Amino acid sequence: MSALNRVRRAGVAAALAATPFALAWRFAHVYRGRAGYPRRHPPSSDPADFGLPFETRSVSTPDGLELPAWWIPAASGGPAPAVVLVHGWESARHRTLPNAQVLHALGYHVLTIDIRGHGLNPAETLPVSAGEFGTDALAAVEAALNDPRVTAVAVLGHSMGAIGAILAAAAQPRVAAAILVATPADPYRLTRHTFRLARLPIPDPIAYPLAWLTTRVYLEPRGHVVTDISATNAIRHYAGPILAIHGTEDRVIPFTHLARLVEAAHAARAGDPAAAAVLSLVIPGGQHSWLYEFPAYRGAIGRFLAEALGGPLSPEEAARIAEAVDARRPEEREHRFSALGPTALEVEADAGEVDADAGVGGSVGVGGGAGSGDG
């Protein structure tokens, strides 16, 4: 074989070896473009529609944004603990209002915000990830802590909002309690699951490395590191009491994510007899959203917060009152996630197109959040 032929064959072999990586790289960039930019849904109701008093506010972020917010004062009108509510992907603060109903009945102040790129906020120019949910949740926590009427602050987040809530709690030691609902535990597994939701026929030996690459490409524009946006990592660094809740029929964030989170929290506190409680609640038949419609959910939240925040009600009375609240999902037309359509993820390759007709960014993605979170 001539030297020229050997060089040609080597070139062909190198090109063939590089082709899978090139396709994976293209896939990851298309995924980021499709999944990283939530479709905004402005609030279709306000607290008055739920019989709640409120003030319209804004919450300032460290990078100069003013996030639309509602402040729902405690019924007592005096000093009381506050709970910050964090909605999920392609959602807005109005979807947290059934939770606000429960919290108001328990005697708490409530602060609920629109996360950047959501609700009444303008569209973002860079992909939105769990990191942005964490930054904005922390800004809301700081705003609540700075209110002279607030005696303590807890956080309650749903889905991507739950990641934001635990990131904020890990960053601010003064967060007195964290309630995490339908929480994605790990960015890589989350991305892998979106491939299943999208019905992409990718076998695990390819899907997991592809999820690894896709996650990193997704986070690159804002400079995030994967561990910095992981709920499992954050829960290890939060010392306060935790209540983690998940429905058994959650198709968006698999029920198995609950065990990973709880195990990580217990492992971080092992050997410390004074460690704060780590509690979990399984809702049989519960799906991804609307878990507040289950009396067990409301009662558990009432009891947990009364114990963690020291009142204002006894744990037993708080559980009873919370269970009695008629918390129902807002009356609005349900919307499909923007990445759930027939062209949600199309990767053109020489062999043709890969087409996802369900779930990628809208049903979560590294930053693209799992569910139209009710918070």
CA dihedral sign of residues 14, 354, 341, 359: negative
Whether 219 contacts 229, CB under 8 Å? yes
pTM score > 0.85 for this model? Answer: yes
CA 308, 310, 313, 317 torsion: positive or negative?
positive
Check residue 336 and give its pLDDT: 52
Specify whether the CB–CB gap between 281 and 244 falls below 8 A.
Answer: yes
**C-alpha neighbours within 13 Å on the C-beta side of residue 236:** 13
Band the pLDDT of 19: cuts 50, 70, 90. Answer: low
Residue 190 has pLDDT above 70, yes or no: yes
What percent of the chain has pLDDT above 70? 83
pLDDT of residue 375: 57
Instruction: Identify which has the larger pLDDT, 369 or 291.
Output: 291
The first and second tokens of residue 286, run together, are: 């519960």
What pLDDT band is residue 341 in, cutting at 50, 70 and 90?
A: very low
pLDDT band (50, 70, 90) for residue 333: low
Domains of the chain: 43-187+221-336 (3.40.50.1820)
- Exposure string of 237-264, with b = 16+ CB inside 10 Å and e = fewer, is ebbbbbbbbbbeebebbbbebbebbbeb
Instruction: Count Cα neighbours of 368 within 13 Å in the Cβ-side half-sphere.
Output: 33
Identity of the amino acid at 325: V
Range name among 51-55, 71-75, 133-137, 338-342 with the lowest pLDDT average: 338-342
